[in-house]
Amino acid sequence: MATAKVKTLDDLFLNELKDMYNAENQLLRALPKMAKKAKTEELRDALETHAEETQRQIERLEKVFQEIDQAAKGKTCHAMKGLIEEGNEIMEETSDDPVRDAGIISAAQKVEHYEIASYGTLVTFARNLGHNKAADLLEETLNEEKKTDKLLTEIAENGINQEAE
Ligand code: FE
Ligand code: FE
Ligand code: FE
């Protein structure tokens, strides 16, 4: 077993922050690829808009690192790697456009849910540690992830799933 480097809640907070910094950077590269494969304009737009949002979320994370006097540094997020891999897999395995779009939505929502869970935890940790400015910044991102998840549900319900049937 590796020696314990994460001893305090402060360490855990920083660890999770690095994880999300890496996760968002992975996503920044993956989202445009998903958008390109999406056939429905609504879905393509949503993914492109969220790619731009992701860029701002990365900058927001850099502000959070600053807030706690730490260098902005990533640590491989294995979960995001896996989620993106699954997204690529489903895009390769689908031949029919509406079915592929439904698959892209499914993959994108898994990503958003991972982010919602992660940012939810980060906000709570930040508040508990008294980093209120950092908590506010993280909460802004949390809300964007929730909004994106809802939008993807709406797009799915507005027709892609029916078309895929
Ligand atoms: Fe994000
Ligand atoms: Fe992670
Ligand atoms: Fe997101």
Measure 50 CA to ligand 3 centroid, in angstroms. 7
Is 76 domain-assigned?
yes
Domain tally for the chain? 1
- Whether pTM exceeds 0.85: yes
Tokens of residue 11, six digits: 């360490």
The answer, yes or no, to whether residue 37 has pLDDT greater than 80, is yes
- The C-alpha atoms of residue 91 and residue 88 are separated, in whole angstroms, by 5
For residue 158, the model assigns a pLDDT of 87
State the distance from the centre of ligand 2 to the C-alpha of 74, rounded, in angstroms: 10
Q: What is the CATH number of the domain that holds 125?
A: 1.20.1260.10
Ligand having the closest approach to the CA of 117: 2
Could you tell me if residue 136 is inside a domain? yes
Burial (0-12, 13-18, 19+ Cβ within 10 Å), 39: middle
Assess if residue 29 is contained within a domain: yes
In a domain, 56, yes or no: yes
CB-based burial, 41-77: b 16+ in 10 Å, e otherwise: eebbebbbebbebbeebbebbeebbebeeeeeebeeb
Q: Which of 117, 118, 102, 82 is nearest to 34 (CA)?
A: 102
- Domain-located, residue 12: no
Q: Kindly tell me the burial class for residue 4, based on how many C-beta atoms sit within 10 Å of its own C-beta (0-12, 13-18, 19 or more).
A: exposed
pLDDT in tens, 68-100: 999 999 999 999 999 999 999 999 999 999 999
Q: What does the pLDDT look like over 42-57, one tens digit per residue?
A: 999 999 999 999 999 9
Residue type (1 letter), 59: E
What was the pLDDT predicted at 159?
Answer: 74
**How many Å lie between the centroid of ligand 2 and the Cα of residue 81?**
9
Pairwise CA distance, residues 99 & 164, whole Å: 5
46: in domain = yes
- Largest alpha-carbon pair distance within the chain? 52
Q: How far apart are CA 155 and CA 58, in angstroms?
A: 25
CA atoms of 123 and 125, how far apart (whole Å): 6
- Separation of CA 159 and ligand 1 centre (Å): 25
Kindly state whether residue 144 falls inside one of the protein's structural domains.
yes
Q: What is the span of the domain harbouring residue 132?
A: 19-164
Estimate to the nearest angstrom the gap between the alpha carbon of 78 and the chain centroid: 13
Domain membership of residue 151 (yes or no) is yes
Q: How far is the CA of 2 from the centre of ligand 3 (A)?
A: 31
Ligand 2 centre to CA of 114 (Å) is 8
Centre of ligand 1 from the C-alpha of residue 20, in Å: 8
